[in-house]
A = this chain, B = another copy of it.
Amino acid sequence: MPTPFQFHLDATDGQARAGRFTTPHGELLTPVFAPVGTQATVKALTPAQLEEIGASLVLANTYHLYLRPGDELVAQMGGLHEFMGWPRPILTDSGGYQVFSLAERRQIDEDGVTFRSHIDGSSHHFTPEKVTAIQENLGADIIMALDECAEPYNREYNQLATARTSAWAERCLKAQKRDDQALFGIVQGGVFPDLRAQSAEFIASLGFPGHAIGGLSVGETKEEMHQMLKVVLPVLPEGKPRYLMGVGTPEDLVNAVKQGIDIFDCVLPTRLGRNKAVFLRGGERLNLRNVAFADDPNPIDEACKCYTCRHFSRAYLRHLIVAKEMLAATLLSIHNLHTLIQLATDMRQAIIKGRFEQFAQPWTGS
């Protein structure tokens, strides 16, 4: 059948790629960074503010929305785009990561995973078929296969989890009924190059329209993360988008794009914003609660074009923080998201101009 999903490479520079991924809710220009809207809202921001920041893709969490307000309610309200007032592309994860990190008393077997809700302790069962159906109710443009995210250094567990992730990927593909959602397969394997390579080979063989790399940025070192990308990326087909889940910092983004990653998401910019910290362009962080900023008339970053930096001083932002005003979280989140989204845009331009190495040098040190 004809697919609404086309991935076109506008340019490459070394392994770095400037792509274009068409979805039913518009085109994603890659590299792209997706703000996280866990509960169908990017915390403290309206969709209008997200558009002004330049966000094109938003991630929402299947585990959270399944528990509250329920995927069937979201479907009844017209799907996630309509429900949360976000007309552009949305990606939902499979819920796997949250089940393994948030839920209580989880029990995993070949069929799936039984867990208790972190909200009310109620018991639930996720299978590949179930999370596919939930994501079809939610109606995102990009949906994810159920995977098992193991502790990165436990080889035995990673062998088992990678095998289950492979079997579940096949079952998700079979379970998919809607043809207007791109289902991505997920590569696991911890910090073990042979497991990562096996996982990537198997997942790539299944014919997904895109691939994700999971189980990174979960406790391993930066060097190990880069090493795993070096193993996995050459195995994944060039003509399909590649998504590095849950990453990350400005430095992580640049290093991963250098290796050929196209899509990112991370709670970091909004979580830091709620915790009073902001990115500077080079990746340094400031904690604006610091008394040194009490009478600082400058914006967070002189060169930044975000709403916050165009209108407010560090002194005002610190005042909002000290006075415990909600507006602090909003203004800091705007700045942090803008910084990562602008970085992705700048990387895209550098790739198109064939100057990515030069652009990346301050971060990659090479």
Contacts and interface: CB of A to CB of B under 8 A. Distances in A.
Contact of A48 (B43, B45, B307): B307
Given A46-B307, A297-B77, A69 B327 contact: no
A311 B82 CA distance: 8
A329 B76 CA distance: 25
A73 B39 CA distance: 39
Q: Interface extent on A, as a size class?
A: 35 or more
B315 A83 contact: yes
Interface in A34-77: 39-41, 43-49, 68-69, 73, 76-77
A364 B69 CA distance: 41
A331 interface: yes
Contacts of A326: 43-44, 326, 329-330
A84 interface: yes
Nearest to A324: B39
A46 B327 contact: yes
A306 to B, nearest CB: 12
Nearest to A67: B323
A331 B41 CA distance: 12
A171 interface: no
A360 interface: no
B41 A325 contact: yes
A85 interface: yes
Nearest to A69: B319
A312 B78 CA distance: 12
A46 B49 CA distance: 10
A142 to B, nearest CB: 22
Contacts of A331: 46
A40 B316 contact: yes
Q: Which 6 pairs across A and B sit closest by C-beta, in order of nearness? A: A85-B311, A69-B319, A44-B326, A39-B323, A41-B327, A41-B325
